[in-house]
Chain A
Amino acid sequence: MKFYCLSNDPVHACYVVTFKELTIMLDCGLVMETVLDFLPLPLVQSSKFSSCPNWNHPRINESQLDGELKKAGSHVFIDSSPEFQPPLEKIIDFSEIDVILISNYMNMLGLPYITEKTNFKGVVYATEPTLQIARLFMEELVDYIETSPKATHAHHWKEFTELHNLNNLNLELSPFKWKKLFSLDDVHKALSRVQIAGFDQKIDIFGALEVCPVSSGYCLGSANWVLSTGLEKICYISGSSTLTTQAKPINQNALKNSDVIIMSGLTQAPHINPDAILGDLCLNVALTLRNNGTVLIPCYPSGVIYDLFEILSQKLDDSGLSTIPMYFISPVAESSLAFSNILAEWLSSTKQNKVYIPDKPFPHANLVKNNRLKFFKHIYSEGFSEEFRQPCVIFCGHPCMRFGDIVHLIEQYGSNPNHTIIFTEPDFPFHQALAPFYPLNMKVVYCPIETTLNFQQANKLIKDLKPETLVIPKVYTHPPAIAANREDLVIDRQIAKQIITFKCGDCIKLPLKRKKNTVFIDPEVARTLIPQEIQNGLKLAPLSGLLDVKDNIYNIYPCDGNVEGVPKQLVNALLKKHVTYEYGSMSSMDIDIFLNKLKQDGFTDVKVTQTSEVDGVLTKIRLVNEEIDIDISEKGTHIMCEGKESWRLKIRDSLLSCMNKF
């Protein structure tokens, strides 16, 4: 089994495993941090970003850059439509992929690059919520990028390695691998290839492998994948959570007794306690609103926001701020709110039980009904300006702060210290996300809300699961950059029998050697077996029959006693029927019994000599009259005779009756 890593980001992962002549892609994440190197896309002509001065590297001729780089605040940005980092090309042939298994919607955003831009011919499996929510994410991205088109596409800057990491981002890959965003058409085509899989649904892959998504507890429809052949088991653990979230709880049992566990998607804010941070967030919101300020929360269109709607509305009620409206602005806001309430089967049991009443599982349905939560496609959508009241809480995309309505909102609110912006999504370092907007007077709060496994939880999980081999990104073996002195923020080296680490672009051989296969025995064959108890709890029986192989299924059927062209007395020998195998050594008592039997058989002149040899006692027996020699050692018995067959057969019978055999 081989393992390839096609992404430098363990949270937006993309791996490939080859096994039993199958090529399976695990996740198809899109690395989006690249967009932080680009100038924000304003909704309308922005005086700030259209007047940014050109910037030049001292060693590069100005004309070569063609004004592609601009300075905003103290940072330099590329003035072009932002680019993304899809899974690495040229490591494996995408046309050979048989299946892509998606674990959650965040890890699906790179899919159009594979399915539509290469000659991919395989099938994609994802759960229903993963498919529906990924569709929302993709449609939102396309909408954001296409609402603010750029006239030119900057590409000269890529020629200069000096310009390859303008903002000190954690980017390992060359900008030549970056790509423009896919189109809406690509999204629809890519998603039409997805086949829906339910939790605990066993899906057969060409009769060679069974794959099964099991709940990972992280977000709606999020799954870990179990790949098994009945005898080998490989688990791919992606974004998982052992906390109580909105989603169905993690299914840990299904991950036990694996030969290999591949684990990624651990928290991006390992140094932060999610429970405490939620309190911080509520406090900051309440504080800002009391000061007549407005709160901006850059967000994705699904996931944590559902919890935030619930928690914040309660908090506002408790703080006497129930009249404060919440706005959810996203091109897919309506769909997101609607979908979340029809996915009952994928929710935590508390939420699920509401459906039986019947009540909507998420309270935001009622918040919308009672006008507490209002949703709009854009801030320029019909009705928004009439409905808009301040102070308020605005949830708005995109958390990278480079596109979406948030770009406009932060320009509008940034200069007033009464307002607050709260970062809850840990995907983008917030300082870098805000860089082009500096200087800012509004309050900036960082409250990353992450429910995915932290290192402590991951170590505990692995300890419980006890895999033979654990495969993890190399970065999990040393403390993260944001908390470099926290030696506890690593995967424990002793946690599994074997730990293999990888980094982007690696190809690793995983220690998975098939040793067994399932074979079905016909009851007729079983009936002929004569099991012998060899030792306590172990029985052995020679088995023979005819093998039949169809569709990779092995059957053993009985074989009748006639084989054409084989002498009748040899049929059993051909089939190895009624064969016995001797084992163990003959004790002196056994030998005495044997000698007695020989005498009874009429062999009168028996000479016995015993010598000590390297491998034990050697007993030599000579039947003088018959000129037969019998050597009995620890490992075997040798009967040499020159005379009558009948003598040999007598000796054989006597000998075998004194021996252990099966």
Chain B
Amino acid sequence: MSNIKVTCLGAGQDVGRSCILLSMGGKNIMLDCGMHMGYNDERRFPDFTYIVPEGPITSYIDCVIISHFHLDHCGALPYMTEIVGYTGPIYMTHPTKAIAPILLEDMRKVAVERKGESNFFTTQMIKDCMKKVTAVTLHQSVMVDSEIEIKAYYVGHVLGAAMFWIRVGNQSVVYTGDYNMTPDRHLGAALIDKCKPDLLITESTYATTIRDSKRCRETDFLKKVHECVAKGGKVLIPVFALGRAQELCILLETYWERMNLKYPIYFALGLTEKANNYYKMFITWTNQKIRKTFVQRNMFDFKHIKPFDRGYIDNPGSMVVFATPGMLHAGLSLQIFKKWAPNENNMVIMPGYCVQGTVGHKILGGAKKVEFENRQVVEVKMAVEYMSFSAHADAKGIMQLIANCEPRNVLLVHGEAAKMEFLKDKIREEFKIDCFSPANGETCVIKTPLKIPVECSLQLIKKELKAYNAQPPDPKRRRYFNGILAMKDGKLILMNLPEVFKEFGNINRHIVTFSSLIKLETTSPPLQILEQIHSLMKDKLNAWDVKLVDGQCIKVESIVIKVNEEASEKKLCVTWENQDEDIGRYVIGLLQSIE
């Protein structure tokens, strides 16, 4: 019970298809349910048979949490709910719930209509899936059931992206999804409090990169675009409809305005306008500056950026075109690429990470020829530029987040194995905490200290506190604490003895008392005897409070020592209650030895 288990069905030493199973406190939680863009077969979806070989999956998963709308994080969700048949709760933020179905539909179209795939989910399935989603707001504490509590934190990255803090009992985990630690032109930076989770599961896309300042990258980007269009070239910027696209639009829009440029900028229509509408409506999720000025001027109303038409592909002259999808694996961006790639005047700027198997990944790797499924070969003569605008935290950012939330363990996902190794060492060294990076299908077991919460009577605490405060201050002093733990109706209550008998009225204490008499062969007056014994006992029982009361008797715990005088015979009478048997016996032994 005191372990947290993590199994990666995706994103284990890998970028693309995030899907992580988390087990703690007897609960199983799925973190993201993404699909892999690099595959066209069953490998694109997580292997749900890992959870249960066959039959319904719902009883094995207590809830699914989706961090943001990127398809490598939510792409397999309709498959899971509508085809695999999961019917349990699903959580995501409001913007994610609004935008995810649009991206899912877009992808479905590309897969089914353009690539002619079958065995894919339908439009109706996407709708049905989204109906099952519970939307959450930032920082809202949501009880999934009586034991699982989740809470979303802001992470920037894309509109509505969140990281989730998850608690079951006394164990807690933070799952970051994707995040960035520096604010950009339209989103803020990730923000988390010192929540000290047992485990932090963090993405590590840029595990070894310390990226140069944002401003340099932006200037570089603008310079390259400007140079290309100035000499009559065409610039293709493959993007995902939401996220980086909006940031780059803001960037180009302001640059065009400032430099008074007239070259046309196009944005592949369809998603864009709708996308910008979402940005307008969820403006509270953008950064401070945009939020402050939105009443006067909405940043997402672009003057210079016009909708694109397929017919423009063959237009002469320079232009800048934003087209989806971002990794050149399908759709319009790939279509434009095929046309423009053979011309050395043109340029493609890849503003984000490309997963293995995509055209984007190939050309970034320096491929001069790209072969397609229909044996078509495209020569790549155009300039290929990679600009890291992808909003992920770099190594510095990841370390910053760890410092902020102070986890007991870190687990790296969503990155490349070699880079993870490097970061792992760094984390272990700097924070002196354990760090893991399981591969897909591998299970990590993280040990956590278990603590059992009980209700404790204030009387008990106050009594101890009073005794503790009565002693001279010493931070190393041990504070002995004892009471009676009562277990009733599944509740644990710690109380002191009298309270037990008061609380549960129908039981009475039965006190077993012992009295032992020891004959004394002395003529000293009783007081003197008691004083002698008192000093002896104070010495021997220095951890106890030994009191001489009114010169009549000595008291320690329930032990009472008196001197009885009967017919000039003196006897020591020692009385104690059974719970102090050890001390009573010790005192008797002590007194008998001094005779």
Identify the A interface with B (CB < 8 A).
128, 197-202, 212, 231, 334-335, 338-339, 341-345, 352, 355-356, 358, 360-361, 514-523, 526, 529, 531, 534-535, 537-549, 554-556, 559, 563, 565-567, 569-570, 572-576, 579-586, 634-642, 645, 648, 652, 655-656, 659-660, 662
CB within 8 Å for A516 and B457 given contacts A539-B487, A580-B578: yes
Q: Could you list 7 examples of A-B contacts with CB < 8 Å?
A: A198-B140, A342-B281, A519-B461, A541-B484, A543-B483, A582-B511, A586-B510
Partner of B512, one of A537, A576, A656: A656
The reply to whether the CB of B513 lies closer than 8 angstroms to some CB of chain A is yes
The reply to whether the CB of B141 lies closer than 8 angstroms to some CB of chain A is yes
B486 pairs with A538, CB closer than 8 A: yes
The 8 closest A-B pairs by CB, nearest first: A544-B482, A547-B481, A636-B511, A573-B582, A519-B456, A201-B139, A547-B479, A520-B451
For A531, the closest partner residue in chain B by CB is: B487
**Which residues in A have their C-beta under 8 angstroms from that of B578?**
580, 582, 652, 656
Known: A516-B455, A580-B579, A652-B514. 7 other contacts (CB 8 A): A352-B94, A352-B135, A514-B458, A519-B453, A540-B484, A583-B509, A584-B507
CB within 8 Å for A638 and B515 given contacts A570-B582, A581-B579: yes
Shortest B226–chain A CB gap in Å is: 34
A555 pairs with B451, CB closer than 8 A: yes
CB within 8 Å for A517 and B456 given contacts A345-B94, A554-B461, A583-B507: yes
B514 pairs with A516, CB closer than 8 A: no
**Which residues in A have their C-beta under 8 angstroms from that of B455?**
231, 516-519
B478 pairs with A559, CB closer than 8 A: yes
The reply to whether the CB of B531 lies closer than 8 angstroms to some CB of chain A is no
CB within 8 Å for A567 and B514 given contacts A198-B138, A576-B482: no
The reply to whether the CB of B215 lies closer than 8 angstroms to some CB of chain A is no
**Which residues in A have their C-beta under 8 angstroms from that of B552?**
none
**Which residues in B have their C-beta under 8 angstroms from that of A555?**
451
Partner of B509, one of A231, A361, A521, A581: A581
Could you mark each residue 556-581 of chain B with 1 if its beta carbon is under 8 Å from any beta carbon of chain A, else 0? 01000000000000000000001111
B281 pairs with A652, CB closer than 8 A: no
**Which residues in A have their C-beta under 8 angstroms from that of B295?**
334-335, 338-339
**Which residues in B have their C-beta under 8 angstroms from that of A636?**
510-513
**Which residues in A have their C-beta under 8 angstroms from that of B457?**
515-516
Cα-based distance from A545 to B494 in the complex (angstroms): 12
Cα-based distance from A635 to B137 in the complex (angstroms): 60
CB within 8 Å for A547 and B480 given contacts A579-B579, A648-B516: yes
A543 pairs with B482, CB closer than 8 A: yes
A358 pairs with B98, CB closer than 8 A: yes
For A576, the closest partner residue in chain B by CB is: B482
**Which residues in A have their C-beta under 8 angstroms from that of B580?**
573
Shortest B92–chain A CB gap in Å is: 12
B464 pairs with A518, CB closer than 8 A: no
**Which residues in A have their C-beta under 8 angstroms from that of B138?**
198
A583 pairs with B481, CB closer than 8 A: no
Partner of B582, one of A521, A549, A572, A582: A572
**Which residues in A have their C-beta under 8 angstroms from that of B464?**
547
A659 pairs with B512, CB closer than 8 A: yes
Cα-based distance from A543 to B487 in the complex (angstroms): 12
CB within 8 Å for A543 and B516 given contacts A344-B282, A517-B461, A566-B543: no
The reply to whether the CB of B485 lies closer than 8 angstroms to some CB of chain A is yes
**Which residues in B have their C-beta under 8 angstroms from that of A128?**
284
B485 pairs with A529, CB closer than 8 A: yes
Q: Which one of B28-36, B74-82, B424-432, B583-591 is at the interface?
A: B583-591
B510 pairs with A660, CB closer than 8 A: yes
For A566, the closest partner residue in chain B by CB is: B543
Partner of B454, one of A360, A521, A570: A521
The reply to whether the CB of B470 lies closer than 8 angstroms to some CB of chain A is no
Shortest A653–chain B CB gap in Å is: 11
**Which residues in A have their C-beta under 8 angstroms from that of B510?**
582-586, 635-637, 659-660
CB within 8 Å for A556 and B481 given contacts A342-B283, A345-B137, A521-B451: yes
Partner of B586, one of A339, A519, A567, A639: A567
**Which residues in A have their C-beta under 8 angstroms from that of B494?**
519, 543
Shortest A75–chain B CB gap in Å is: 40
Within 8 A of A (CB), among B311-335: none
For A523, the closest partner residue in chain B by CB is: B450
Within 8 A of A (CB), among B456-479: 456-458, 461, 464, 478-479
A655 pairs with B512, CB closer than 8 A: yes
Partner of A541, one of B97, B485, B488: B485
A342 pairs with B294, CB closer than 8 A: yes
CB within 8 Å for A522 and B451 given contacts A580-B578, A585-B508: yes
**Which residues in B have their C-beta under 8 angstroms from that of A583?**
501, 507-510
CB within 8 Å for A200 and B452 given contacts A342-B294, A566-B543: no
**Which residues in A have their C-beta under 8 angstroms from that of B540?**
567
Partner of B452, one of A197, A520, A576: A520
Cα-based distance from A538 to B585 in the complex (angstroms): 32
The reply to whether the CB of B362 lies closer than 8 angstroms to some CB of chain A is no
Shortest A9–chain B CB gap in Å is: 31
Cα-based distance from A638 to B510 in the complex (angstroms): 10
**Which residues in A have their C-beta under 8 angstroms from that of B497?**
581
The reply to whether the CB of B541 lies closer than 8 angstroms to some CB of chain A is yes
CB within 8 Å for A200 and B142 given contacts A355-B281, A516-B457, A566-B543: yes
B513 pairs with A637, CB closer than 8 A: yes
Cα-based distance from A343 to B76 in the complex (angstroms): 30
The reply to whether the CB of B517 lies closer than 8 angstroms to some CB of chain A is yes
For A544, the closest partner residue in chain B by CB is: B482
B500 pairs with A540, CB closer than 8 A: yes
**Which residues in A have their C-beta under 8 angstroms from that of B511?**
582, 635-637
Cα-based distance from A652 to B280 in the complex (angstroms): 82
B582 pairs with A641, CB closer than 8 A: no
**Which residues in B have their C-beta under 8 angstroms from that of A197?**
139
A639 pairs with B478, CB closer than 8 A: no
A520 pairs with B453, CB closer than 8 A: yes
A570 pairs with B506, CB closer than 8 A: no
B543 pairs with A360, CB closer than 8 A: no
**Which residues in B have their C-beta under 8 angstroms from that of A662?**
484
**Which residues in B have their C-beta under 8 angstroms from that of A547?**
464, 479-481
**Which residues in B have their C-beta under 8 angstroms from that of A637?**
510-513
A542 pairs with B482, CB closer than 8 A: yes
B284 pairs with A343, CB closer than 8 A: yes
The reply to whether the CB of B227 lies closer than 8 angstroms to some CB of chain A is no
Cα-based distance from A637 to B578 in the complex (angstroms): 10
The reply to whether the CB of B278 lies closer than 8 angstroms to some CB of chain A is yes
For B582, the closest partner residue in chain A by CB is: A573
Shortest A436–chain B CB gap in Å is: 35
**Which residues in B have their C-beta under 8 angstroms from that of A212?**
141
Cα-based distance from A575 to B484 in the complex (angstroms): 13
**Which residues in A have their C-beta under 8 angstroms from that of B373?**
none
**Which residues in B have their C-beta under 8 angstroms from that of A356?**
97-98, 101, 130
CB within 8 Å for A544 and B480 given contacts A538-B504, A579-B579: yes
Within 8 A of A (CB), among B138-181: 138-142, 151, 170
**Which residues in A have their C-beta under 8 angstroms from that of B274?**
358
The reply to whether the CB of B277 lies closer than 8 angstroms to some CB of chain A is yes
Cα-based distance from A541 to B517 in the complex (angstroms): 33
The reply to whether the CB of B542 lies closer than 8 angstroms to some CB of chain A is yes
**Which residues in B have their C-beta under 8 angstroms from that of A529?**
485
Partner of B542, one of A199, A565, A585, A635: A565
A540 pairs with B98, CB closer than 8 A: no
**Which residues in B have their C-beta under 8 angstroms from that of A545?**
480-482
The reply to whether the CB of B209 lies closer than 8 angstroms to some CB of chain A is no
For B450, the closest partner residue in chain A by CB is: A523
Shortest B159–chain A CB gap in Å is: 12
Could you mark each residue 111-134 of chain B with 1 if its beta carbon is under 8 Å from any beta carbon of chain A, else 0? 000000000000000000010000
B486 pairs with A539, CB closer than 8 A: yes
Cα-based distance from A526 to B457 in the complex (angstroms): 18
For B275, the closest partner residue in chain A by CB is: A358
**Which residues in B have their C-beta under 8 angstroms from that of A645?**
516, 585, 588
